[in-house]
């Protein structure tokens, strides 16, 4: 016979139930900001990753502004670097290659410097399209004399022989440089007013005097060319006939006046060009005048001064 367990009666209580505490987690001093900053940094890094990759691979150069340590964007039109000057030691057999041309046969006879230009390219008007100069330097690479090369066409396979008078001691010439220059390379020049309140630049060489008149902005507006020829010249008669013919051609152009006047000692040729009427960009007019000392309207004073000086004129 199985014993019965003592069964205790279930007593219901109206007392409120209390939660049991197993442990306490303290969050004193904790914050969500580190997590937020971490995610912001991660998002920024993801967006910047392609740019950083370009800089590291060299596709994007880092350009710093002067006086600043912050990188800036590369300019839209990067400045072309200044070409390095190529100095050639003046010696026998020297040849200087430039733009499909070769300069050689350099020689000095007394006070005359001569050389040859050979065209080995397919372009015959290289000297016309480019302002080319031959420069003489001493052993310390100090400029002694600068000569502007002539604006002449050279057919393919042809030579042009050129010579000029030296203004320096031949013993000082050590280096030669052939280079192209642009008006932006020319230094500024101060042109004074004359007694008629006209800005006037006068350039003289041998028996020729050129007078260039400029407006208040130093832009060319008028040219007066005066040249004298002596009866002592062996070719006097031929020159007189030639210049009379030239004078007739010049006078057929509006704004241009030319006169040949004989004197007891020779003749004088005076040519006046009013650039307000004469368009030097007109091919026919340019071919008729055919003289590189005649510039077009608006030419800057510094261009006339620099180039005429390099042609052997004394300008003031």
All CATH 2.60.40 domain ranges of the chain, comma separated, are: 88-181
- Positions of the chain with pLDDT under 50: 1-5, 7, 10-13, 16-17, 19-26, 28, 59-75
pLDDT value of position 309? 96
pLDDT value of position 71? 43
Q: Is 192 exposed, middle or buried (0-12, 13-18, 19+ CB in 10 A)?
A: exposed
What is d(CA 259, CA 269) in angstroms, rounded to the nearest whole number? 6
What is d(CA 221, CA 252) in angstroms, rounded to the nearest whole number? 20
pLDDT value of position 128? 87
The answer regarding whether domain 185-315 maps to CATH 1.20.1250.20 reads no
CA atoms within 13 A on the CB side of 196: 6
What is d(CA 272, CA 259) in angstroms, rounded to the nearest whole number? 9
pLDDT value of position 67? 46
Q: Which CATH number fits domain 88-181: 3.40.50, 2.60.40, 3.30.1380, 3.30.460?
A: 2.60.40
The pTM assigned to this predicted structure is 0.72
Give how far the C-alpha of residue 93 lies from the chain's centroid of Cα atoms, to the nearest Å.
31
pLDDT value of position 46? 67
pLDDT value of position 282? 94
- The number of beta carbons lying within 10 Å of the beta carbon of residue 216 is 9
What is d(CA 64, CA 240) in angstroms, rounded to the nearest whole number? 66
CA angle 38–42–44, rounded 5-degree value: 120
Q: Is 268 exposed, middle or buried (0-12, 13-18, 19+ CB in 10 A)?
A: middle
What is d(CA 85, CA 98) in angstroms, rounded to the nearest whole number? 12
All CATH 3.30.1830.10 domain ranges of the chain, comma separated, are: 185-315
Give how far the C-alpha of residue 207 lies from the chain's centroid of Cα atoms, to the nearest Å.
34
Tell whether the torsion through CA atoms of 274, 280, 286 and 292 is positive or negative: positive
């Amino acid at each position: 016979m199985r014993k019965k367990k003592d069964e205790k009666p279930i007593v219901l209580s109206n007392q409120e139930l209390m939660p049991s505490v197993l442990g306490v987690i303290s969050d004193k001093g904790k914050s969500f900001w580190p997590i937020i900053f971490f995610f912001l940094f991660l998002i920024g890094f993801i967006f910047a990753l392609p740019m950083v990759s370009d800089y590291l691979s060299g596709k994007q150069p880092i350009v710093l502004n002067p006086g600043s340590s912050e990188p800036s964007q590369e300019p839209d039109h990067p400045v072309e670097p200044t070409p390095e000057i190529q100095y050639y030691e003046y010696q026998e057999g020297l040849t200087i290659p430039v733009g499909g041309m070769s300069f050689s046969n350099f020689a000095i006879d007394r006070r005359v410097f001569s050389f040859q230009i050979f065209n080995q390219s397919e372009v015959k008007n290289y000297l016309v399209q480019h302002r080319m100069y031959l420069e003489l330097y001493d052993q310390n690479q100090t400029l002694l004399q600068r000569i502007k090369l002539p604006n002449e066409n050279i057919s393919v396979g042809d030579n042009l022989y050129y010579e000029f008078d030296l203004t320096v001691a031949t013993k000082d010439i050590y280096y030669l440089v052939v280079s192209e220059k642009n008006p932006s390379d020319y230094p500024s020049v101060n042109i004074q007013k004359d007694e008629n309140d006209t800005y006037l630049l006068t350039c003289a060489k041998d028996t020729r005097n050129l007078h260039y008149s400029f407006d208040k902005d130093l832009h060319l507006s008028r040219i007066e060319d005066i040249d004298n020829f002596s009866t002592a010249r062996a070719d006097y008669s031929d020159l007189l006939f030639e210049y009379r013919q030239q004078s007739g051609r010049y006078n057929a152009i509006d704004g241009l006046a030319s006169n040949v006047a004989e004197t007891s000692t020779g003749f004088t040729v005076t040519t006046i060009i009013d650039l307000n009427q004469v368009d030097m960009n007109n091919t026919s007019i340019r071919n008729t005048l055919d003289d590189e000392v005649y510039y077009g309207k608006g030419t800057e004073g510094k261009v006339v001064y620099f180039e005429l000086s390099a042609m052997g004129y004394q300008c003031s």
